Amino acid sequence: MSSQLFLYAFLILSAIHVLGEFLQDSIRKKIRMSTKPLLMPALIAYNLLHTDDPNWWIVGGLFLGWIGDVVLMFPRIAIMFLIGLASFLVGHALFIYAFLQSSSYLQGMPLWFMALAAVFAFAAAAFFTYFKPHLTGENADKKVPVALYASIIVAMSYTSLAIWLNGSGSGVFFVALPFIGSLCFIVSDFLLANQLFIKPFKYDQAIIMLTYLAAQFFIAQGYLPYPF
């Protein structure tokens, strides 16, 4: 079966899912429930069929993203939130390992790039500091998970930047895409945390899903040949 069929399926399902967020509540919920569990399986199938040598760390990260997608369909249930957070956290760890492999474990990187780690660490601290005052009451037990998640997603962005700097010699075809995907992930997760812990705003779910789906696609496509 052609990999493009699954790519088209992913793109069409993504469009339906995001556009569904602009519809009335009853229709929106039905579209969410019917499309969200299918998004990552379509992207995983595209990933597996589009190359004879898939990167299994990336595939594993996408699979854990699918688990997170499914359980976070019920974010107000505390255990579901923690399972979803853990799934994405481990998934990002798999992405980090793939990025480190692709950048020769940061060997030969310039000194300024190593110093840049301080900037990314500050970004992780700022992420957590922004949300910490709102992690009270029923969310008080989420301080440590949120701090860990902020740290790992920023670390994922930092290691993905090394791929871009190393160029195509690492074997990653679209060298900038993983870094772009990591930035999309940060935007998506920041808005999701804002939705859960502070205050939702109109159509925020559409932006969250658009940036999330773009993140997963860019990271996956960065390890694949041209899609068409």
**pLDDT > 90: percent of the chain:** 80
**pTM score:** 0.94
In a domain, 193, yes or no: yes
pLDDT of 56-66, one tens digit each? 999 999 999 99
- What pLDDT does 173 receive? 59
Count of domains forming the chain: 1
> Can you tell me the mean pLDDT for 75-99?
90
Residue carrying the six token digits 């793109």: 11
In a domain, 214, yes or no: yes
**pLDDT > 70: percent of the chain:** 96
pLDDT of 157-170, one tens digit each? 999 999 988 874 44
- What pLDDT does 1 receive? 66
User: Are the C-beta atoms of residues 175 and 167 closer than 8 Å to each other?
Assistant: yes
pLDDT of 2-24, one tens digit each? 899 999 999 999 999 999 999 98
Distance CA 138, CA 86 (A): 18
In a domain, 150, yes or no: yes
In a domain, 121, yes or no: yes
User: Are the C-beta atoms of residues 175 and 163 closer than 8 Å to each other?
Assistant: yes
Residue carrying the six token digits 């290691």: 159
Confidence of residue 182 (pLDDT cuts 50, 70, 90): very high
In a domain, 51, yes or no: yes
In a domain, 196, yes or no: yes
- Local structure of residue 66 (DSSP, 8 states): H
In a domain, 114, yes or no: yes
Per-residue tokens: 16: 């339906």
Q: Which domain holds residue 36?
A: 3-221
- What pLDDT does 170 receive? 46
Average pLDDT, the chain: 93
Confidence of residue 175 (pLDDT cuts 50, 70, 90): confident
DSSP string, 128-161: HHHHGGG--GGGGGGHHHHHHHHHHHHHHHHHHH
User: Are the C-beta atoms of residues 194 and 160 closer than 8 Å to each other?
Assistant: no
> Can you tell me the mean pLDDT for 190-204?
93
Confidence of residue 198 (pLDDT cuts 50, 70, 90): very high
- What pLDDT does 166 receive? 83
> Can you tell me the mean pLDDT for 18-41?
95
In a domain, 226, yes or no: no
- What pLDDT does 79 receive? 84
